[in-house]
Chain A
C-alpha cells in the first residue's frame, strides 16, 4: 500500500512561471518530509525538507508547504528554469523512508 502518493506523473510549465508539485501521505505519524530531484542516469539529490512541526520552509526559489490536516505537502518552484526539468520525488520518514512515484517536471524555455 502506497503511503506516499504523487498523483501527477508529469507537469509542464513555462520558464519563469511557478511550478507546483503535490504529494499526499496517509500516515499521520510521519515526522519529516523531503523532496528529491532526479536527473536521468543519476541518483536522487536532496532538495529541501520540512519537519512536521512546521508548515513552510523556504530555500531560494524552492518552498515546501505542509498541510498536516490534509496530509498534503507541495513544492513550489518560482521562477521555474529549464534546468529544473527533472523527476521530483517526495519522501516521508518514520521508521524508514517512504517515497512517492515521482513527478516529471518539464520547464519549457
Chain B
C-alpha cells in the first residue's frame, strides 16, 4: 500500500523567499507530524495534528513557520522569508492514533537548502 509521500524531494531557495512543503499521509491515519533534521542533529519536533483537535504548534521555531492540514488529510508546511538556518531535511510522519501506543510512519523527507 501507499506510504507517506512528501513533495518536493529537494528544494533550493534563495534567502527571503517563501516555501511550501507538502505531505500526503497514509489514508486513514488521524495523526500527522512534522519534524526537521538539521545536519548532525536528531529529529526536532515542529507540529502535530490529531484528528479535528487544535494542532500542537509548540515545536515551531518562529512565527515564520506555519502548517495546515486540510480535510484531515494532506498537510502543508510553509516557511516564510526563509533563512539559511532553515536548511534541513523536513520529515512528515503519520500514525493511526495519537502519541500513545502508535508507531509513526515517515515519509522520505524534503531536503531544503536556503542559499
By a CB distance below 8 angstroms, the chain B residues around A94 are 99
Instruction: Specify the main secondary structure of chain B where it touches its partner.
Output: loop
Partner of A97, one of B4, B41, B104, B109: B104
Q: Does A58 contact B (CB under 8 A)?
A: no
Q: With A43-B91, A43-B108, A43-B109 given, is the CB distance from A97 to B45 under 8 Å? A: yes
Closest chain-A Cβ to B35's Cβ sits at a distance in Å of 7
A9-44 vs B: 1/0 string, CB under 8 Å? Answer: 000000000000000000000011010100001111
B106 touches A43 (CB 8 A): yes
B107 touches A93 (CB 8 A): no
Closest chain-A Cβ to B23's Cβ sits at a distance in Å of 11
A44 touches B56 (CB 8 A): no
B42 touches A101 (CB 8 A): yes
Bound together, the chains give a CA A46 to CA B101 distance in angstroms of 12
Bound together, the chains give a CA A41 to CA B109 distance in angstroms of 8
User: Residues of B within 8 Å of A, CB-based: how many?
Assistant: 25
Which chain B residues numbered 25 to 64 have a C-beta less than 8 Å away from chain A? 33, 35, 40-45, 48, 56, 58-59
Q: With A41-B108, A101-B41, A101-B42 given, is the CB distance from A96 to B59 under 8 Å? A: yes
Q: Does B93 contact A (CB under 8 A)?
A: yes
Bound together, the chains give a CA A99 to CA B58 distance in angstroms of 15
B99 touches A32 (CB 8 A): yes
Which chain B residues numbered 89 to 115 have a C-beta less than 8 Å away from chain A? 91, 93, 99-101, 103-109
Q: With A43-B107, A44-B106 given, is the CB distance from A102 to B99 under 8 Å? A: no
- 14 further A-B contacts with Cβ under 8 Å, apart from A6-B42, A43-B93, A44-B91, are A32-B99, A32-B100, A42-B109, A43-B106, A43-B109, A44-B106, A89-B42, A89-B43, A94-B99, A95-B56, A95-B99, A96-B45, A96-B56, A101-B40
Interface residues of B (CB under 8 A from A): 4, 33, 35, 40-45, 48, 56, 58-59, 91, 93, 99-101, 103-109
